[in-house]
Amino acid sequence: MTTPVPTAELRGVDLDYGSGPPWARRHQRAVSAVSLTIAPGETVGLVGQSGSGKTSVGRLLLGLARPTAGSVLFEGRPLGEDRRRHRGRLQAVLQNPAWSLDPRLRCGTSVAEPLTVAGALPADERRRRVAHMLKQVGLDPGVADRFPHQLSGGQQQRVAIARALVSHPSLVVFDEAVSALDVSVQAQILNLIRRLQDEVGFAALFISHDLAAARYVSHRVAVMWRSEIVEVADAAALYHHADHPYTRSLFGLEPGAAGRR
Ligand SMILES: Nc1ncnc2c1ncn2[C@@H]1O[C@H](COP(=O)(O)OP(=O)(O)OP(=O)(O)O)[C@@H](O)[C@H]1O
């Protein structure tokens, strides 16, 4: 049996951020020697306390940050300079839907935007795909004519998910995508992500400080601690195989190591 080429892969990746003026430049290591693969159709959860480097891993996978060392592969090839080649194939859903929805644009226009970037489509076809996508995320297609401020937070996040999926991406990075929502709405969105992943089949990185949410949507969960991935396990098995003290603290098995959030 041949193993499928991973959709996304980090190989021994470091990422440093520089700060300060050139004569007193300081470097902070945000990601240290991280290796991680995401198979086609797989969701990998990435959990860890604030500042552990989760968003930086997402940015590397999206090509928004360049590794200081190591390599980032997308569908088996280096995720290089030519980001245009991947337009529409790499998408993100962020914590606050307002970050991806322009308040001045009707929701239908925002959802259609990745289609415009990926290549010209006749207006009819664009409208049809937007309506279909809105239905898939559980919204009335009439939402296309409304502005974000006319919708609830949960509805806005559904629009943001529709926008991320309309171009049939291979990889979607969900970065704290449910953290800003009420608990009952969080459950709806987590169920939506699971259902869409089964139906549409994208690979995903699900970044969260909430281990329970990450386990619920993910096939495997990676645990990040001070810029390193200290553990990766099947979501169901993680509880029983939690080796690292930080992972154990996430389950309440060991006091002290988990950060405040
Ligand atoms: N653009 C930047 N410039 C300088 N330092 C940065 C930058 N972005 C992040 N950092 C630092 O890198 C480290 C990792 O940050 P990152 O946002 O990846 O962590 P995180 O686990 O996603 O945290 P949070 O859950 O709070 O978003 C932190 O110490 C952060 O302060």
* CATH assignment of the domain containing 52: 3.40.50.300
Look at residue 194 and tell me if it is in a domain: no
Look at residue 69 and tell me if it is in a domain: yes
Containing 213, the helix (H) or strand (E) segment is: helix 211-217
**pLDDT tens series, the chain, 261 aa:** 567 899 999 999 999 998 888 888 888 999 999 999 999 999 999 999 999 999 999 999 999 999 999 999 999 989 875 666 677 789 999 988 888 899 999 999 999 998 876 667 888 899 999 999 999 999 999 999 999 999 999 999 999 999 999 988 999 999 999 988 888 889 989 999 999 998 889 999 999 999 999 999 999 999 999 999 999 999 888 877 788 888 888 877 555 444 333
Among 14, 28, 29, 223, the mutation site with the greatest number of ligand 1 atoms within 8 A of its Cβ is 28
* Two structure tokens written together for 221: 């969960």
Look at residue 180 and tell me if it is in a domain: no
CB 43 within 8 A of CB 206: yes
CB 38 within 8 A of CB 44: yes
Pocket of ligand 1 (CB under 6 A): 17, 19, 28, 30, 48, 50-56, 209
Residue nearest to atom 4 of ligand 1 (CA): 17
Tell me if the pTM is above 0.95: no
Look at residue 42 and tell me if it is in a domain: yes
Q: What is the DSSP string of 11-50?
A: EEEEEEEEES-GGG-EEEEEEEEEEEEE-TT-EEEEE--T
Among 54, 64, 179, the mutation site with the greatest number of ligand 1 atoms within 8 A of its Cβ is 54
Look at residue 141 and tell me if it is in a domain: no
Strand-pairing partners, residue 208, are: 47
Look at residue 124 and tell me if it is in a domain: no
Q: How many residues comprise the chain?
A: 261
* Two structure tokens written together for 53: 């480097």
Look at residue 93 and tell me if it is in a domain: no
